Amino acid sequence: MDAKRDTTDSFIAKEARYGARNYAPVQVVVDHAKDCLVWDVDGREYIDMMSAYSSVSHGHLHPRIVAAAQRQLEKVAVTSRAYYGTTLGPLLEKLSEVTGFERALPMNTGAEAVETAIKCARRWGHRIKGVPDGRQRILVARGNFHGRTSTIIGFSSEPEYRNGFGPFDGGFQHFDYGDMQSVKAAATPDTCAVLIEPIQGEAGVIVPPPGFFQELRAWCTAHQVLLIDDEVQAGLGRTGKWFAFQHEGIRPDALILGKALGAGLLPVSAFCADDKVMQVFSPNSHGSTFGGNALAAAVALEGLKVLEEEGLVDHCAEKGDYLMRRLREVQDEVRPLIRDVRGRGLWIGVDIEPSCTTARDLVERLAAHGLLSKETHETVIRFAPPLTITFELMDRAVEIFRRVAREKHAELAGRVARQGTPA
């Protein structure tokens, strides 16, 4: 066997042998990366069109962010929140500035920030709205994805996420995403919050219908219900604005951030709200040993400055419009293989006709041609490159996608010709 291929196989084999089988990675072994490019252990180059689900929105190893991490590593990394530090305060101040919320509570992963939001909503529902403790209810959308803790999967509508992991704690009612009548039907006097994504990413990059969030905002205000916006994937420039809720002309009562907040280096998340909501927390009511640690705060602060000072958010909408247009050109060339191209900013879902093939099939073919993407729900390929991507790299990526799509389209046409049946 070829020595290089043996090296690739050995890394894959070790993960398969010693790791839990909770992922099915594309067969690429990443060795190093820089900005929007990734190289495998064989030295082969790939265009990163996934950016680790928005975690690498700044590009891999942005030099300013790496330098900030190195400076902090020479001082102190973790002390726990038992003491004050020199980096957390400035990060919280910057978060308040960019989000418009008065306070932020730092955590590590996005799921932890969602759990924080759930705890906050329940205590707010009891102490402020007056719902009897234990009866607080939170409305969630069908097709949601807010993380993988036992509480969160308990209100997922995906059987694969729930099967065998019960019992679940309850306290959640479902509504149909984008449907206000469904929201109203699901509500009760004990409803204290609506937890929702501004765009449903894992469901296939589902964009809400126009006006839905304005109606939802008005309804929440009228019924003393918190509107909690989960922007773990959508936030910090991904959709062409700092936050996806800004497209809807509304302001939620609370905001959940993660992924890009860690600037491609560390897991960093935050729950943001005004005093009237955040007041329910008191010493010992919630915490995290690593949440808001000195190193994470230094990295996140520099990441926010990079987004702002290098205009990454400002240019995202233009880049997203361009990429969307180019992908729709490919769609027109290979119908019926692609049935939809949708999204906002640099977050685009390409919906594959399931009678033609699976999204995974095309994702693996794209990887073989030097483009990294990821499927969701068997029918959608997600394209979400770093915000630093250039037009030249987007053109290269689209040409790879066009080549793969045409090859698959030709295979389908050949199969139809052999079978003598219509496409």
Query: Which residues does the annotation mark as catalytic?
Result: 145, 230, 259
Strands (E), 56-117: 103-107
Type of residue at 286: H
* Angle at the Cα of 99 from the Cα atoms of 94 and 103, rounded to 5 degrees: 70
Structure tokens at 257: 């951030």
- What is the spatial order of strands in the sheet that 374-376 belongs to? 338-343, 348-352, 380-383, 374-376
β partners of residue 382: 349, 374
Q: What is residue 128's DSSP assignment?
A: I
Spatial contact of 306 and 263, defined as CB atoms under 8 Å apart: yes
Q: Rounded to an integer, what is the distance from CA 310 to the centroid of its chain?
A: 22
Cβ density class 394-410: b for 16+ within 10 Å, e for less:
beebbebbbebbeebbe
Q: Rounded to an integer, what is the distance from CA 243 to the centroid of its chain?
A: 12
DSSP string, 157-206: S-HHHHTT-------EEEE-TT-HHHHHHH--TTEEEEEE-SSBTTTTSB
d(CA 303, CA 163): 38
Dihedral angle sign, alpha carbons of residues 240, 242, 244, 248: negative
Q: Is 170 left (phi over 0), alpha (psi -120 to 50) or beta?
A: left
Spatial neighbors of 118 by CB under 8 A, at least 6 apart, are: 138, 151, 195
DSSP string, 13-69: HHHHHHS-S-----S--EEEEEBTEEEETT--EEEESSTTTTTTTT-BT-HHHHHHH
